[in-house]
Amino acid sequence: MIIVIDGPAGSGKSSTAKAVARKTGYDYVDSGAIYRALAYLYNTLGKDQRSLLEKLEDHQLHFDFNHTDVRVRHMDTDITEAIRSMPVNQSVSEVAAMPEVREVVRKLLRDITQGKNAVLDGRDLGTVVFPDADLKIFLTADLETRAARRFEELSGQPFEGSLEEIKTNLQKRDTLDSQREVAPLRKADDAMIVDSTHLSFDEQVARILNYIRT
């Protein structure tokens, strides 16, 4: 069974998908980690798109997906925390808009989940990568709520940005993700909407588990 959770940046897709995976015993696959790793590589290459595209097939990025998490390495360096940094946040939508990047990630995700029960989160999983998914969820929340949650998430990390900077970044990513020509962020026609603005974390997880059971 394939369960996909799409939605805008900061809507809580990753933490929700992890919780659903734990409760169902399914594998958790974080598609965003792949795009973030490529954005990290893009930054290290001086934001040179040609260099990134040339290295897509030999980027020396390694992903270790386990039951509820993922570790990412660039060659011999663990970059799991680095891919969540503000510089990567500021580049990931730009990188994800590149058609060549999206095709590489699409094929990788299909290969990773072949023959498995899996929960995945992303932007275009239900519309492009897994149009045949068994259950599609579109998880959303208003901008203020998403910014506050992201700020809280980053508060325990070496992060110097403000709540307003996070809000601006999310707003920019919303625009880039929804207006890009290739695989824009949108709800699949057969996806179930879960607006978590006024839901607790446990409530939004419970709602998705109920959709799985029914």
pLDDT tens-digit readout, 146-203: 999 888 877 766 666 789 999 998 999 889 888 888 778 889 999 999 999 999 999 9
Q: 94 is in which domain, residue-wise?
A: 2-213
54-58, 120-124, 133-137, 193-197: lowest mean pLDDT where?
A: 54-58
Decide: residue 17, CB within 10 A, 0-12 exposed, 13-18 middle, 19+ buried: buried
Average of per-residue pLDDT values in the chain: 89
CATH code assigned at 135: 3.40.50.300
Sheet with 135-140, strands from edge to edge, namely 27-30, 118-122, 2-6, 135-140, 192-195
Decide: residue 193, CB within 10 A, 0-12 exposed, 13-18 middle, 19+ buried: exposed
Integer Cα distance of 132 and 93 in angstroms: 25
pLDDT tens-digit readout, 81-110: 999 888 998 899 889 889 999 888 898 899
Q: How many domains does the chain have?
A: 1
**Non-local CB neighbours of 152 within 8 Å, separated by 6+ positions:** none
pTM of the model: 0.79
